[in-house]
Structures are given as C-alpha cells and as structure tokens.
Amino acid sequence: MVVFPNAKINIGLNILSRREDGYHNISSCFYPIPLCDVLEIVPSEKFEFTGSGILVDGTFEKNLCVKALRLLQEDHAIGEVKMHLHKVIPMGAGLGGGSADATFTLKVLNKLFSLGLSTHKLEEYAAQLGSDCPFFVRNEPVMATGTGTEFTPCTIDLAGKYLVLLYPNLHISTQEAYSGVKPALPSHDLQTVLTEKPLKDWPQWVINDFEGSISHKHSIISQLKATLYDHGAFYASMTGSGSAVYGIFEKPLTNSKELPGIVWKGILPGHH
C-alpha cells in the first residue's frame, strides 16, 4: 500500500504557559498542505526499512515509522513488513513531516492487517509517538490546544488561495525554539481572530511566538518573510518552531522564480 503523508503549517502559534510536566500549553491553527512524502508498506516475511530522498539521520529503529510499527505490534498480532519512505518534506522545518509519516504508518497498518482501530484509538496511539502526530489521523484544519494534542474544528478555509513555502535549509530543534520564548497569554483569542478578521488584517493579529527569538538568531527567517510580503503576500509567517516560512497570496505568482528556497507552491485545496 502506498500513501502520501502530507505536511502542515501553523497559522498563528501562541505559547500560553509552561506545564508542571515540562511541556507547554499552546494555541495554534494546524492546517494541512499538499507537500507530501511517499510511504510504501507491504507485508513481508522479514522486516525491512529503506529510505530515499532527503537523508534522515540516525538508525532506522529510531525512525518514527518503525516506532509506529513496534507500538502496534505490542498490542496486536501484526506480521513483519517492508517499508520504504521517500522523504520530500524538510526536517526541523516546523512542517510536521516526521509526525505525518508516523501517523500514516498507523493508518496503513490498521488497514493492511484489518485491526479495526477507531479514529479515536488511532489518535491515542499517535499521541504516544509525538505531540503533532494525532493531528494527521483526521488531517483537517483544527485549533490545537494543550500540548498541541487537543483539537477543536476550525472553520478557516483557504481553498483557492495560493501558498508559497520557503525553506532556508536550517534545522531548528524544538529545544532551541522553546529556549527563546517566555510563555504569556495573548491579548486576543486566536480562533476568534482567524474566523472573524479578514486575511489582510492577519499580519497585525496572527503571531507565531517562536518567530521573534528565532529571527533574532537566524536573520534569514525575517528576510524570507519580508521577501514574501514584497511579492504581495496577504500574510506571511514562520511555521511551527521553524524554520520554514510561508506566504498566502490571493492568486498565483508570476515571478515566484525570484524567491529563494521554494519547497512547495500551489493553490490550496478545500477541506470542508
């Protein structure tokens, strides 16, 4: 079975408070986009994992796809498989590529071995693999709160808008990102802003709290954002904890070749 794990962007990201368990409470809109990896899984006599595309560091046993397989094997009679992951989504970019790969692995194994796992059960398994993972079970725009694993539907729909995604070839770890932020409650509710304010007003209201400190250390982030606005973006932002930067446009760009580090550009599909 071949599937196409897709990336997501964060539209706004507020870091509200530090929790007693060391994690942070956040508020963010997770929005799926059509930049995809390719994952093939077939039943096999013996386990095999191969990769292509962007090079993934570390041993295959540390790969989230393999961890997803091992997690289900603890509870279910699943045979071995051959996996091949072709990596297109950059890592350390705030796009959730590794999380998508892990969750799509769960979904494929559920079908291949007729496990009959419900959406809710898949989300529970996904949460054990990483905080972004449960989002990719339903793969629809949501407001994410708590540690990023509590979801409510978000009515925002960017269907027909043109997205340009830039990646400055910079890997930012979650630890580095969090070390530069001070949690604080925003002056306004993000979901209210996203659903009630027009897109052209987002720049003054919709903020990624990671962006300030990361741009301070890596000026390329603010340069890319400024370039997107110069090309006519309604809204531009870093996604997640970085380092990819995206711009939302009303219509396709005719001069996008001038933009550095494009990893995806295109018209966004509808989700509702």
- Residues with active-site annotation: 8, 132
DSSP lists the bridge partners of residue 249 as 162
68 half-sphere exposure, CB direction, 13 A CA radius: 28
- Which is nearest to 96 in space by CA: 35, 163, 145, 162? 35
CA pair distance 180, 209, nearest whole angstrom? 10
Contacts of 57 (CB under 8 A, 6+ apart): none
| Three-class DSSP labels, the chain | CEECCEEEEEEEEEEEEECCCCCEEEEEEEEEEEEECEEEEEECCCCEEEEEECCCCCCHHHCHHHHHHHHHHHHCCCCCEEEEEEECCCCCCCCCHHHHHHHHHHHHHHHHCCCCCCHHHHHHHHHHHCCCCCHHHHCCCEEEECCCCEEEECCCCCCCCEEEEECCCCCCCHHHHHHCCCCCCCCCCHHHHHHHCCHHHHHHHCCECCHHHHHHHCCHHHHHHHHHHHCCCCEEEECCCCCCEEEEECCCCCCHHHCCCEEEEEECCCCC
